[in-house]
Structure 1
């Protein structure tokens, strides 16, 4: 059993008082090799020392005795749409639904209130004539590890929020929050690469909605693909 303690910095928020779901899921998956599904069971608090317990096959994240989430090895059979050009992704941003209505405008990943080099500013909009959304992304040096690669938790974060906007519109009075994210990673990513993030809907079941996301690097290589489960909740519970 490996035990790690860490704190989620306020920079990495999703909703105002909790960690971004993709970032938190990526931290949970940090010591697992292969395709991983991370499930969130409670909002991860900011600025509080958390405990991550990991074995070869699974990991669990705790705040004291409260289980916040767990991650396990899994399989993922999901073929993403082809990568559009960076210019096409830039053009799609104009249609980003979050510019009109956004439950969490301060979100680290998709919040329009976050300045450059602070938030990721991934703003997916629809590609013309398709159900796929696309956004450009230029990761900066603050996201890199000691080897000069973008840290895995930021790849997970980039794969997170785009899926939610593929599921819009959301009924008035509701928000959707990440329940589970399953990720397969195929390649490393460097800061300052001109990336494209894609998302597309995969259906729904009651309060649950499903979306696929993909991250492509500058040479249109597939860096990672993910399948997300989103859950409808009252918007007031996250204000």
Structure 2
């Protein structure tokens, strides 16, 4: 077994006091070859050294003796629906629920308080005539290297749209990410005109599953994900 140490910069928060689940999952997934599945055990703490244990079975992220997340290889078979047109994706952002009520307005992925160039600014809203949410995305240079988006930020982009696809109508209930499995099929280019979608897959008790996908301008699939979300009382959320 080998060990490494990572630190989650506060810039990459979801809630103001913990890391964005997709981004942190992507960091841990880098220790697993090929498509991976990451299960979050607790809110990832910010700005402190976290230990990554790498074994033949996968990887584990620890905060001292507490397990933050685990990663294993995955067979991600989710098939996305057809991508809405770019004009429809742009129009969908007008219905983004976070425009009027966002519990984590500083979320690195979907926080409306993030200025251009600071967060990913992916604001998925419902698409007319389709059971999905969608948003445009143009990756900024600082999330990439050599012209390509780094994998951790691809994971981040595939996170929040899935949550908004299965967000409860009940204002007293919210969802938190429990598990995210991602398959990256093609490189994602910096400054490309992309579309990100999320769609519901099912509900079983407190668990809700969703799919997400990133498409290029031509409608080709670049990456897909399947997520499990857990319904919790909205009062449990930390606002900010």
- Once residues 221 and 172 of structure 1 are traced to their aligned partners in structure 2, the CA distance between those partners, rounded to angstroms, is 36
Q: Residues 89, 63 of structure 1: CA spacing in aligned structure 2 closer, same or farther, 3 A cutoff?
A: same
Q: Which residue of 2 aligns with 1:125?
A: 125
- Once residues 182 and 57 of structure 2 are traced to their aligned partners in structure 1, the CA distance between those partners, rounded to angstroms, is 15
Structure 1-normalised TM-score? 0.95
Q: CA deviation at 1:63?
A: 0.8
1:63 aligns with 2:30: no
Q: CA deviation at 1:223?
A: 1.0
Check the 8 A contact 1:184/1:225 in 2, yes or no. yes
Where do 5+ consecutive residues of structure 2 fail to align?
none
Check the 8 A contact 2:167/2:175 in 1, yes or no. no
Check the 8 A contact 1:216/1:223 in 2, yes or no. yes
Check the 8 A contact 1:103/1:175 in 2, yes or no. no
SS in 2 for 1:197: strand
Q: Which residue of 2 aligns with 1:231?
A: 230
Q: CA deviation at 1:168?
A: 2.7
- Once residues 150 and 15 of structure 1 are traced to their aligned partners in structure 2, the CA distance between those partners, rounded to angstroms, is 23
Q: Which residue of 2 aligns with 1:20?
A: 20
- Once residues 64 and 35 of structure 2 are traced to their aligned partners in structure 1, the CA distance between those partners, rounded to angstroms, is 28
Bigger CA drift: 169-178 or 101-110? Answer: 169-178
Runs of 4+ in 1 over 4 A off after TM superposition: none
Check the 8 A contact 1:32/1:56 in 2, yes or no. no
- Once residues 221 and 57 of structure 2 are traced to their aligned partners in structure 1, the CA distance between those partners, rounded to angstroms, is 25
- Once residues 159 and 88 of structure 1 are traced to their aligned partners in structure 2, the CA distance between those partners, rounded to angstroms, is 19
Superposition pairs for residues 150-169 of structure 1, below 5 Å? 150-169=149-168
Instruction: Note the alpha carbon deviations across 1:109-155, whole angstroms, 9 max, x for none.
Output: 0111111111111011111111111100010010013x331110100
Q: Which residue of 1 aligns with 2:215?
A: 216
Across the aligned residues of Structure 1 and Structure 2, the Cα RMSD in angstroms comes to: 1.4
Structure 2-normalised TM-score? 0.95
Instruction: Note the alpha carbon deviations across 1:69-127, whole angstroms, 9 max, x for none.
Output: 10111212211011222222111111112112222111110111111111111011111
Q: CA deviation at 1:2?
A: 3.5
Q: Which residue of 2 aligns with 1:176?
A: 175
Q: Which residue of 2 aligns with 1:72?
A: 72
Number of residue equivalences: 238
Q: Which residue of 2 aligns with 1:197?
A: 196
Q: Which residue of 2 aligns with 1:83?
A: 83
Instruction: Note the alpha carbon deviations across 1:26-80, whole angstroms, 9 max, x for none.
Output: 0110121222110000111111111112235411001111110101112122110
Q: CA deviation at 1:14?
A: 0.4
Q: Which residue of 2 aligns with 1:144?
A: 144
- Once residues 25 and 230 of structure 1 are traced to their aligned partners in structure 2, the CA distance between those partners, rounded to angstroms, is 14
Bigger CA drift: 192-201 or 212-221? Answer: 212-221
